[in-house]
Structure 1
Amino acid sequence: MKAIYDLPAPAKLNLFLHITGRRDDGYHLLQSVFMLIDWCDTLHVELRHDGQLSREDLTTPLPADDLVLRAARALQAHAAPGQGAHIGIAKHVPAQAGMGGGSSDAATCLLALNRLWNLNLPLSRLAQIGLKLGADVPFFLGGRNAWVEGIGEKITPVNLPPARFAVAKPPEGLDTRLIFSADDLERATPVAIISGFAADSEQLEATNLGNGVYDFGDFGHNDLQPVAQRLCPAVTDAIEWLGLQGLKARMTGSGSSVFAKMPQSPQETKLLEAPRGWQVRQCDNLAVHPLWGWAT
C-alpha cells in the first residue's frame, strides 16, 4: 500500500456539556453526549521511505506543528525504521468552533497510518496514544456516538435517531483555555446517568425509542455557554439568529459554533441568508464514523 486518499474526518456536536467537578491536577470533569455529523475534513496519506513526516495544507493554512503531525510522530514510534508519510489536509471544519476538527483529523491520521505502515495496532492502543494528544481523540477513534465522562476518556457508545441540525459558526473563534480558566465557569453541575438524566436537581428520563436508541431531546445545557457569550458576543448573535427562524440553539463544545435541531419536514428546512463571514450548514448526524472498523 503506497497511499490512501479521501479519508473523512467528521466533526461532532455536544448535545449537552456539563462540568461536574475539577481534579487536583486542574483537569475538569465533564459529562456530555458527543454526536458525529457529516461536516468533514479530508485527509490523504502517502508513504515515504525516508522516515520523514510532511504535511500539505490543501485549503486553510494550519499551524506548523498541528495535532495531525503530532499524531503521526506518536504512531511512528511503533513503525519500522524508514517509514514516513506525506499528509495532505483539506480543512473544512472551522477552527475554535467546538466541533473537534483538530482531534478528528488526528484520529483519522492514526487510523490511516496504522494501515499504511501495516502496524495493525488494536483500537485500545490507538486510543491510549490519542488521549495523550487530546481528550476528544479517543471518541473519534471509537467511531460511535457516545456518552462521555471523566476528562473525555470514559466513553459509552449510544445509538441516536437520525436527525438534521443547523450549525452556525460566526467569524470569531474561542480559546478553550480562556473559558476553562474563567472564575465564573460553573463547575458543579449534578452528575447525570444515561438511563435517567439529572440536571439542576430535576430528574429527566431519556426517551427510549427501542433497540437501545435514545432521543436525548432538550436535556441539559452547556455549562461553558454563559462564559463563552461573555467572552464572544458573536455566540449570542448566532443563537439569536437561529432563534429568529424558530430554532432553539445552544453552543457546542468550547467553541463559538451553535446548533439547533431542524424540523423533519423538508419544506421547513430553508435557512435565512447568513450574515457575512459566517459558516452555516445543515448537517445530518452519523450512526458511525466513516472509518468504523479500521482498527480492531
Structure 2
Amino acid sequence: MSASFTLPAPAKLNRMLHIVGRRDDGYHELQTLFQIVDISDQLTLTLRDDGDITLATPVNGVAHDDNLMVRAARLLQRSAGTAQGAIPRAMPGATLTIEKKLPMGGGLGGGSSNAATVLLGLNKLWQLGLSATALAKLGLQLGADVPVFIYGHSAWAEGIGEKLTSVTLDTPWFVIIHPKVSVSTPLIFQDPELTRDSRPITMARALQGGASEWRNDCEAIVKKRYPLVAEALDWLAQYAPVRLTGTGACLFATFESEQTARTVAELAGQRWPTWVARGLNTSPLQDALGC
C-alpha cells in the first residue's frame, strides 16, 4: 500500500445555470452545464495506522470537524468500516494537507472538489475498491456538486445538480475573476426576485444552441446585491461575453486564444485575483489516479 498521494482538486465552471422550479423542501430544480478547468487545489493524503483523520493545514474560518475534507474522510471511513457486516472493522486513518489556491465561496466548487479528491484518494490509499457510483452516492451527502468531481467529466446536470449526464464541451481558454467579495448562496436562493421559472430545455438543445441558449439565472440578483461583482462583470464584458459561475462571486469569459486570455488577465490582475484556465472534458484527478 502506497503511504501517500498528492492529488489535484480542480475547479469547475457553470457554463450555464437555469432555475426551472422550486421543490416543496425549499431546494431549487436546476439545469446546468459543468465544465472542469485546469486550475486546482493540491491535496496530500498520508496513511495513518491509528484510525485518526487529521487536517494538518487548517482552513481559515472553517472549524476542523466542519471541513468538507475531514467530513468526507470520516464518512468514507464509517461507510467502509461497516460495509462488511454488523461488526465494524478497524479502518486506517489519514493526515490531510492542502495547498489552497481556489477561493472559498467563489462558485468554483473548491470545497466540493476537495471532498471528492479525498473520497477518491482514500478509496485508493485504503484499497477499498469502491466504484465511482458508490463514492458519488456518499459524496451527495456532502454536497450536490461533489458527484461531478467524483465522475470527473464535463456534465449536463438536472435536479439539484446531482442528476448527471457526461457531455463533451468545447475547451476554450477562460479568464476567471474573483471580485474579492463572498456571496451567500442561501441569500441568493431565498431572494424573492430570483427567477425560478425558466422554461426547461433539453440537453440536446442546450448543447446545440451553445452560448445563445446559456445564461445564469442567479446573475441579476447577485449583481443587485453585490456591487463589486457587478463592477467586475461590467469590466470583463468589454472584452468578451461574461457569465457568473454558480452564485459567484467568481465570473468568467471565454477566449479562443491563450495569448488573448493572458493579455486580458494581466489587465484584470491589476484590480482583482485573476486566473487563466483551460477548459477540460476529463478531470486531472482521474488522470492522476489512472481512472
TM-score under structure 1 length normalisation: 0.89
Counterpart code for 1:4:
S
Using the alignment, how far apart are the partners of 2:4 and 2:244 within structure 1? 34
| Aligned-partner Cα distance in 2 for 1:175–1:48 | 36
Structure 1 equivalent of residue 85 of structure 2: none
The answer to whether the 8 A contact 1:68-1:109 is kept is yes
- Tell me the residue number matched to 1:206: 208
Q: Which residue of 2 aligns with 1:106?
A: 115
Instruction: Give aligned pairs, total.
Output: 279
1:169 to 156, 161, 178: 178
Query: 2 CA distance for matches of 1:49 and 1:88?
Result: 17
Query: Which residue of structure 1 lines up, in the alignment, with residue 36 of structure 2?
Result: 36
Partner of residue 279, structure 1: 273
Distance across 1 between alignment mates of 2:45 and 2:165: 30
Aligned amino acid, residue 239 of structure 1? L
1:63 maps to amino acid: V
Whether the 8 Å CA contact 1:19–1:187 is kept in 2: the answer is yes
| Amino acid across the alignment from 2:203 | I
Q: Please, which of 257, 260, 263 is the counterpart of residue 264 of structure 1?
A: 257
Equivalent residue number for residue 70 of structure 1: 71
* Alignment-mate amino acid for residue 36 of structure 1: I
Distance in 1 (CA, whole Å) between partners of 2:9 and 2:55 is 16
Alignment-derived partner of residue 220 in structure 1: 214
The amino acid that maps onto 1:247 is A
Q: How far is the alpha carbon of 1:13 from its aligned partner?
A: 0.5
How far off its partner does 1:295 sit?
8.8
For the aligned residue pairs, the C-alpha RMSD in angstroms reads 2.0
Task: Provide the residue aligned with 1:210 in structure 2.
Answer: none
Greater helix content: 2
Q: Residues 53 and 96 (structure 1 numbering): CA distance in 2 closer, same or farther, change over 3 Å?
A: same
Shift of 1:219: 2.4
- Answer whether contact 1:225 1:251 (CA < 8 A) is retained: yes
Asked if the contact 2:176/2:277 (under 8 Å) is kept, the reply is yes
Of the structure 1 ranges 49-58 and 108-117, higher mean CA displacement relative to structure 2 is found in 49-58
Q: 1:110 to 1:295 in 2, by over 3 A?
A: farther
Whichever residue aligns with residue 228 of structure 2, its letter is A
Structure 1 180/130 Cα, relative in aligned 2: closer, same or farther at 3 Å?
Answer: same
Equivalents in 2 of 1:135, 1:141: separation in Å? Answer: 11
Aligned-partner Cα distance in 2 for 1:53–1:267: 44
Gaps of 5+ in 1: 198-204, 208-215
Distance (whole Å) between structure 2 residues aligned to residue 219 and residue 255 of structure 1: 20
SS in 2 for 1:12: strand
Q: 2:71, 2:5 → 1: CA distance? A: 20
Q: 1:62 to 1:145 in 2, by over 3 A?
A: farther
Superposed CA offset, 1:188-223 (max 9, x none): 0000111124xxxxxxx716xxxxxxxx23422101
**Gap runs ≥5 in structure 2:** 82-88
Say yes or no: does 1:140 pair with 2:134: no
**Is residue 77–residue 91 contact of structure 2 (8 Å, CA) maintained in 1?**
no
Letter of the structure 2 residue corresponding to residue 101 of structure 1: G
Moved more, 273-282 or 111-120: 273-282
1:192 — aligned with what?
201
Assess if the C-alpha contact under 8 Å between 1:123 and 1:295 holds in 2: no
1:18-61 CA-partner distances (Å, limit 9, x unpaired): 00001111111000000000110000001111111100228x53
SS of the equivalent of 1:95 reads coil
Deviations 1:86-106 (A, max 9, x none): 000111011111110000000
C-alpha distance in 2 between matches for 1:103 and 1:285? 18
Deviations along 1:133-152, one digit per CA (max 9) or x if unpaired, are 00000011011000000011
How far apart are residue 162 of structure 1 and its match? Answer: 2.2
Q: Percent identity?
A: 40
Q: Which deviates more from structure 2 when the two are superposed, residues 73-82 or residues 16-25?
A: 73-82
CA distance in 2, matches of 1:17, 1:254: 9
Q: How many Å separate the matches in 2 of 1:267 and 1:122? A: 41
